[in-house]
Structure 1
Amino acid sequence: MVNCVVRNWNGEEVGQATLELKVAKEENAAHVVHRALVRQQANARQGTASTKTRAEVRGGGRKPWRQKGTGRARAGSIRSPLWRGGGVIFGPKPRDYDTKMNRKERRLALRTAFFSRAEDMIVVEEFADKLPRPKTKELVEAIARWGVEPNSKVLLILAEREENVYLSARNVAKMKIIPATQLNVFDLLAADKIVTTPSALVKIQEVYSE
């Protein structure tokens, strides 16, 4: 169980929030999270890189010169991999990089990664009503009041998409906003600070408890 201080829009402490999730054992935690991270990054690859072999490169059907008597090295094709404009040896071909991981293990890794960032988590009261219209400046000032240093990578987790919050946050260079139901290991580990709300914590507890 983790106890977090809840702050209001002005950065003042106004209460406590708790979070309790089943996580991996300490000796296995790093391995499980690493597997999930590698899987996520591998599955994001397009796998469309492609090169042509000597059989696929255009030309080279005719022997460039006779086998003997010229004083030059023997050559059978101008599209040999040794020649400029020739084929590529063992080059990349389109392939599928998808890596499988059991659903229970994926969720365990996600809970473990989230739990490991407890010290960098900032819980704030619902603040959508503080932004009656999109205003990036006001959101940036509020984040500073909550204790986030300038130029820090911030992951903002909300229970559900709030349009004005989203429009205010999308123009901040190092801020990413995601709903509580779409957590992923990479974003959790990449952020310097994680900002969330009590309702988002409740949603996380409901969705990822098992």
Structure 2
Amino acid sequence: MEAKISKKIYDKNGVEAGSIELPAKVFAAKWRSDLVHQVVEGMRSNKRAGTADTKDRGEVRGGGRKPWKQKGTGRARHGSSRSPIWVGGGVTHGPLAEKNYKRKISKKMRAQALFSVLSRKLKDNEIIFVDSLALTDIKTKQA
């Protein structure tokens, strides 16, 4: 038989209305900050689009003609106006499109992290059990 944890249930007025039996497997799990961190970072990483992109000197439009002749002007020699050192030029080592940020989070890891967080919240009294959330009228005063 599985161990149970007993917690109080309250009604909408804050008066104790009974108790509830909770499974210890879910609400008495050991705190695993490493696992919670891995799962949260994995979830955040999976939301990333990975579509950042830049053009290098070969992809930027224009710049085919030599800006000025090689010798005789007194200026520095240049072959293209789309060089990375020019304004309007390409980007040297910028991001490439469609980078994959997906991370696989196993079902067991996700479940253990959830159990760990629920256990921690219950231990810190941040979870309150309410018998019913039904309201007669939808008004803030009754909430």
* Alignment TM class, shorter chain as reference: 0.7 to 0.9
Q: Which of the numbers 111, 115, 127 marks the counterpart of 1:111?
A: 115
Matched, 1:126 2:132: yes
Q: Structure 1's 72 and 125: CA in aligned 2 closer, same or farther, altered over 3 A? A: same
Distance in 1, Cα, partners of 2:29 & 2:68 = 67
Deviations 1:47-95 (A, max 9, x none): 1222211111101111111223322222121111111111112222221
Q: How does 1:1-210 map to 2 (within 5 A)?
A: 2-19=5-22, 20-22=24-26, 25-26=30-31, 29-94=32-97, 95-118=99-122, 119-128=125-134, 130-131=135-136, 135-138=138-141, 141-142=142-143
Output the TM-score relative to the length of structure 1.
0.57
What count of residue pairs does the alignment treat as equivalent? 135
- The question of whether the paired residues in 2 share the 8 Å contact of 1:5 and 1:13 is answered with yes
Distance in 2, Cα, partners of 1:69 & 1:109 = 70
Distance in 1, Cα, partners of 2:5 & 2:72 = 83
Query: Which has a greater percent of helix?
Result: 1
User: Greater Rg, structure 1 or structure 2?
Assistant: 2
Q: Note the residue ranges of structure 2 that are not aligned, 5 or more in a row.
A: none
- The question of whether the paired residues in 1 share the 8 Å contact of 2:29 and 2:116 is answered with yes
Q: Structure 2 counterpart of 1:53, which letter? A: D
Q: Structure 1 counterpart of 2:16, which letter? A: E
- The question of whether the paired residues in 1 share the 8 Å contact of 2:65 and 2:79 is answered with yes
Q: Detail structure 1 runs of 4+ shifted over 4 Å in the superposition.
A: 22-26
- The question of whether the paired residues in 2 share the 8 Å contact of 1:67 and 1:74 is answered with yes
Distance in 1, Cα, partners of 2:9 & 2:112 = 26
Q: Give the root-mean-square deviation of aligned CA atoms.
A: 2.1
Identity of aligned residues (%): 42
Q: Structure 1's 5 and 72: CA in aligned 2 closer, same or farther, altered over 3 A? A: farther
Q: Structure 1's 81 and 124: CA in aligned 2 closer, same or farther, altered over 3 A? A: same
Q: Note the residue ranges of structure 1 that are not aligned, 5 or more in a row.
A: 143-210
Output the TM-score relative to the length of structure 2.
0.81
Distance in 2, Cα, partners of 1:42 & 1:136 = 39
- The question of whether the paired residues in 2 share the 8 Å contact of 1:24 and 1:109 is answered with no
Q: Structure 1's 3 and 51: CA in aligned 2 closer, same or farther, altered over 3 A? A: farther
